[in-house]
């Protein structure tokens, strides 16, 4: 089954073609990072305009790369949310045009289901499994007992991990997106600043990163005021150590409680080298999988894979009334 995936929820314009949920025949991604960098973050209005400029190009390129014609596509899977509404609408409407023109069934996919299924592209899935979702907008622990069955065990009560990374990077004078740069700096520094590990002993699977973020920012501000020497690498290493300690501790608790067969990490922050290392170091009894680097951040291959499994479970659940939704729950999209 050939699934054409479309992803435009934030600042990547992407179309991919995936066979049977795992064989990536084309994965075309146009990134807008260089454009938003000048503003220190994603500007929604600019993001939608850039999607408009790029969308037909990425469709054409993906079809050519896969060496297929639209008549051979069995399903279109498009991110319906959550995300920036102006951006989502470009992908959803382009997908509807192709669906109408070539009579291809279309379904709307949840962006986080996509991040989770990025792991299916390379590692497959064995149930029950635990998914740690860590992206710019989400931090969640999800238990899956079978395909396309998402039980949220806990989530962030305030900032998402990626969001905290990006905000701290901005205060430390590093460019956007901050996550990869803080990660790079962290590798050169030491965990010497004694930052707190928020909610590590809370006894549940929820997270909180806003207090840690403020603590880091205030410490930096106070040191500047006192004219103290600031070691950016140590700041980054200490922040990363605090964040990854909490993420890994909660993942281990959930693994033990639910006796899972595998752990998968999903979302942009799955690219983090400190998280990858700590997970592998501290979890030996079940396999821990991370998506390949190009499937960690937003891409349409993960949406096509999730769409394939959503379709296996729920069939054709959408039509041309499909719409983008800036906020939507994972359990609601089927």
Binding residues vs ligand KG4 (CB under 6 A): 10, 115, 135-137, 162, 165-166, 177-180, 183, 267-269, 271-272, 297-298
Q: Which residue, 73 or 84, is less far from ligand KG4 as judged by CB?
A: 84
Task: Tell me how far apart the alpha carbons of residues 273 and 185 are, in angstroms, rounded to a whole number.
Answer: 11
Cβ-contact 156, 211 below 8 angstroms: no
Query: If binding is defined by CB under 5 A, does position 135 make contact with Zn ion?
Result: yes
Backbone angles phi, psi at 164, to 5 degrees: -65, -40
**Closest to ligand KG4 by CB, 112 or 129:** 112
Contact window for Zn ion (CB under 5 A) among 71-79, 134-142, 223-231, 277-285: 134-142
Specify the residue, 241 or 269, whose C-beta has the smaller distance to ligand KG4.
Answer: 269
User: Rounded to the nearest whole angstrom, what is the least distance from the CB of residue 146 to Zn ion in the complex?
Assistant: 24
Query: What number of CA atoms fall less than 13 Å from residue 193's CA on the CB side?
Result: 26
Nearer to ligand KG4 (CB atom), residue 177 or residue 198: 177
The answer to whether 146 touches 260, Cβ cutoff 8 Å, is no
92, 300 in Cβ contact below 8 A? no
Kindly state the smallest distance separating residue 299's Cβ from Zn ion, in Å: 9
Among 240, 237, 238, 220, which Cα is nearest to 229's? Answer: 220
Does residue number 140 form part of the binding site for Zn ion (CB under 5 A)? no
114 binds, among ligand KG4, Zn ion, none (CB under 5 to 8 A by kind): none
Q: Which residue is nearest to Zn ion (CB)?
A: 298
Q: What secondary structure, in 3-state letters, does 139-173 show?
A: EEEEEECCCCCCEEEEEECCCCHHHHHHHHHHHCC
* 311 Cβ contact list (under 8 Å, min separation 6): 3, 75, 77, 105, 107
8 or 262: CB nearest Zn ion: 8
**Considering CB distances under 5 to 8 angstroms, the limit depending on partner class, which of ligand KG4, Zn ion, none binds residue 269?**
ligand KG4
Question: Cβ distance 5 to 77 under 8 Å?
Answer: yes
In this structure, what token pair is assigned to residue 76?
């279109």
Residue pair 327/81 in contact (Cβ under 8 Å)? The answer is: yes
Q: How far is the CB of 88 from ligand KG4 (least distance, A)?
A: 12
How far apart are CB 58 and ligand KG4 at their closest, in Å? 16
* Residue 238 burial by Cβ neighbours in a 10 Å radius (0-12, 13-18, 19+): buried
Which residue, 140 or 318, has its beta carbon nearer to ligand KG4? 140
CA distance 145 to 260: 9
| Shortest spacing between CB 176 and ligand KG4, in angstroms | 8
Closest CB to ligand KG4 among residues 137, 198: 137
Q: Does 159 bind Zn ion (CB under 5 A)?
A: no
Q: Residue 272 belongs to what H/E stretch?
A: none
Query: Does 298 help bind Zn ion (rule: CB under 5 A)?
Result: yes
Please provide residue 283's backbone torsions phi and psi, each rounded to the nearest 5 degrees.
Answer: -120, 110
Say which entry of ligand KG4, Zn ion, none residue 180 contacts (CB below 5 to 8 A, set by partner kind): ligand KG4
Q: What is the 8-class DSSP label of residue 259?
A: T
Which partner, Zn ion, ligand KG4, none, binds residue 183 by CB below 5 to 8 Å per kind? ligand KG4
Among 54-62, 88-96, 129-137, 174-182, the segment contacting Zn ion (CB under 5 A): 129-137
Name the minimum Å distance from CB 69 to Zn ion: 30
Q: Is 14 in the site for Zn ion (CB under 5 A)?
A: no
Does 13 participate in binding Zn ion (rule CB under 5 A)? no
CB of 89 to ligand KG4, least distance (A): 17
Q: Which residues bind Zn ion (CB under 5 A)?
A: 135, 298
């Amino acid at each position: 089954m050939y699934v054409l995936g479309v992803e435009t929820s934030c600042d990547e314009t992407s179309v991919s073609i995936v066979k049977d949920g795992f064989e990536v025949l084309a994965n075309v991604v146009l990134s807008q990072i260089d454009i938003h960098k000048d503003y220190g973050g994603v500007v929604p209005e600019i993001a939608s305009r850039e999607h408009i400029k790029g969308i037909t190009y990425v469709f054409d390129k993906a079809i050519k790369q896969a060496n297929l014609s639209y008549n051979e596509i069995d399903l279109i899977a498009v991110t319906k949310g959550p995300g920036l509404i102006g951006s989502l609408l470009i992908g959803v409407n382009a997908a509807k045009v192709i669906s109408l023109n070539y009579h291809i069934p279309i379904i709307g996919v949840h962006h986080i289901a996509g991040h989770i299924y990025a792991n299916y592209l390379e590692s497959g899935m064995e149930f029950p499994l635990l998914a740690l979702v860590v992206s710019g907008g989400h931090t969640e622990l999800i238990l899956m007992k079978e395909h396309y069955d998402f039980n949220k065990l806990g989530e962030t009560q305030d900032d998402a991990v990626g969001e905290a990374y990006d905000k701290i990077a901005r205060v430390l004078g590093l460019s956007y997106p901050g996550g990869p740069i803080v990660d790079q700096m962290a590798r050169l520094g030491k965990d010497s600043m004694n930052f707190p590990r928020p909610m590590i002993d809370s006894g549940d699977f929820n997270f909180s990163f806003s207090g840690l973020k403020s603590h880091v920012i205030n410490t930096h501000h106070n040191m500047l005021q006192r004219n103290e020497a600031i070691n950016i690498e140590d700041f980054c290493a200490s922040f990363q150590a605090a964040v990854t300690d909490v993420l890994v501790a909660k993942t281990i608790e959930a693994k033990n409680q639910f006796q899972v067969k595998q752990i998968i990490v999903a979302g942009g922050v799955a690219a983090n080298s400190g998280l990858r290392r700590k997970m592998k170091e501290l979890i030996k009894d079940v396999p821990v999988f991370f998506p390949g680097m190009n499937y960690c951040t937003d891409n349409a291959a993960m949406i096509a894979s999730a769409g394939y499994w959503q379709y296996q479970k729920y069939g054709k659940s959408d039509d041309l009334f499909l719409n983008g939704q800036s906020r939507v729950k994972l359990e609601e999209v089927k």
